[in-house]
Amino acid sequence: MGIYLHDQMQWGNWQAFASARWDRVETTTTAADRSTGTQDDTGRSGRLALSHDWSNGVMVYGSVSTSFAPNIGFVYDDPADDSTQRAARPTQSTQREIGLKYAPEGTNLLLSAAVFDIDQRDGTVLDVSTGENRQRQLDLNSRGFELEAQANWDNGWGVIASYAHQRVRIEKGAAGTVGNELSGVPNDTLSLWGKHDIQSGPAAGLGLAAGLRYVGESHGDDANAITNDDRVFVDLGVSYQPAGLPGVEMQVNIKNLFDQQKQTCTAGYCYRDEGRTWTASLSRRF
């Protein structure tokens, strides 16, 4: 059950957004020994945002928002203790963000940049340090920035490029991990995606796309004793819109074209990257 209120206001080139929400969630959990428990979680969340448009394609904004998300199941505060468990508390977060967007007049170009700082209380993670996969709850902080550029030209070419840098640190957790970086979270990610839609000739309606994804190094455990290697993935896409069937599109995507499967560790457990994946779709827009 929830109650939600919001309002959006504008004064000249200024815009403001305010929202507030109250939630109540009742959850019944069952443990491995068949014992059950019921918990009743309530929480408040909201958002305040302010932006200014300079009417020359530049807009700046700032926002503060909070979130509330109930968690299902039991957690262990001490990984080595088999007997002390409790129902998971809701995860609550506070995000602060400032950013800038620039869309030059007369172009199909959009540039954006943002800086963020997120505090997360009782974030739910999995821990296998004792040999069993168990839920734990940590207090985390994520700080970083994001850059993105999107461009589309009249000749059918388009490109999207993005880069993000962040550090997710453990503010409250197991002994010896406080101040360390959360395992399995890369500091740097970068992607580049280009597409060309053929507009004339026998191949009109055909679209060809290719992209690169870079995933930087990360730590393999919360003690930060091991490091995961960085990796680069290549993706491809082909689409076709038949001229005689308006609204119909056929598409094939290939993710991880070269089937790269490096090992990645997180919370002491290691797995391989998802291999080459093919997907095909047929859609119709009315």
- Per-residue pLDDT tens for 135-185? 778 899 999 999 999 999 989 999 999 999 999 999 988 778 899 999 999
Task: Give every CB contact of residue 51 below 8 A, 6+ residues apart in sequence.
Answer: 14, 15, 16, 59, 60, 61, 62
pLDDT band, very low/low/confident/very high, at 105 (cuts 50, 70, 90): confident
Q: Does residue 129 carry a pLDDT above 70? A: no
Q: Which of 270, 233, 236 is nearest to 253 (CA)?
A: 236
Say what percent of the chain tops pLDDT 70. Answer: 94
- DSSP string across 120-162: EEEEEEEE-TTSS-EEEEEEEEEEEEEEEEEEE-TTSEEEEEE
27-41, 154-168, 193-207, 249-263: segment of lowest average pLDDT: 27-41
Which residues lie below 8 Å from residue 22, measured CB to CB, with a gap of 6+?
A: 2, 3, 42, 43, 44
Contacts of 7 (CB under 8 A, 6+ apart): 17, 18, 19
pLDDT at 11 over 70: yes
Residues 103-118 have a mean pLDDT of 94
Residue corresponding to tokens 């191949």:
203
Looking at the predicted structure, is the pLDDT value of residue 130 above 80?
Answer: no
* Higher pLDDT among residues 77 and 120, named by residue: 120
Total number of domains in the chain? 1
pLDDT at 99: 97
Domain around 158: 2-284
pTM confidence score: 0.84
Range 50-71 average pLDDT: 93
pLDDT of 80 reads: 58
- Whether 1 shows a pLDDT value over 80: the answer reads no
What's the confidence (pLDDT) of residue 60?
Answer: 97
Q: Residue 164's pLDDT is what?
A: 98
Report the CATH number that the domain containing residue 38 is assigned in CATH: 2.40.170.20
Q: Are 194 and 212 in contact (CB under 8 A)?
A: no
Is the confidence at residue 81, as pLDDT, over 70? no
How many other CB atoms are found less than 10 A from the CB of residue 107?
Answer: 11
Alpha helix ranges (H) inside 113-253? none
